[in-house]
Copies of this chain bind each other. A is one copy, B any other.
Amino acid sequence: MDSRAGLISAALALFARRGYDAVGVQEVAERAGVAKPTLYHFFGSKQGLLEALFDEYASRLDKQVESAAEYFGDLPLTLDRIAAAYVEFARQEPVFYRLELALHSAPPDSIGYQIATRHYSRRLATIEGVFIKAVRQHGNMRGRHQRYALSLVGIINLYVSLQLNERLIITDRVCHEMVHQFSHGIYS
Contacts and interface: CB of A to CB of B under 8 A. Distances in A.
B151 A158 contact: yes
How many copies of this chain?
2
Contact of A106 (B106, B146, B154, B168): B106
A52 to B, nearest CB: 19
* Majority secondary structure of chain A interface residues (helix, strand, loop or mixed): helix
A122 interface: no
A115 interface: no
B177 A181 contact: no
Nearest to A108: B17
Contacts of A106: 19, 102, 105-106
A101 interface: yes
Interface in A41-57: none
10 contacts: A18-B109, A98-B107, A105-B161, A147-B167, A151-B162, A154-B162, A177-B185, A177-B188, A181-B181, A181-B188
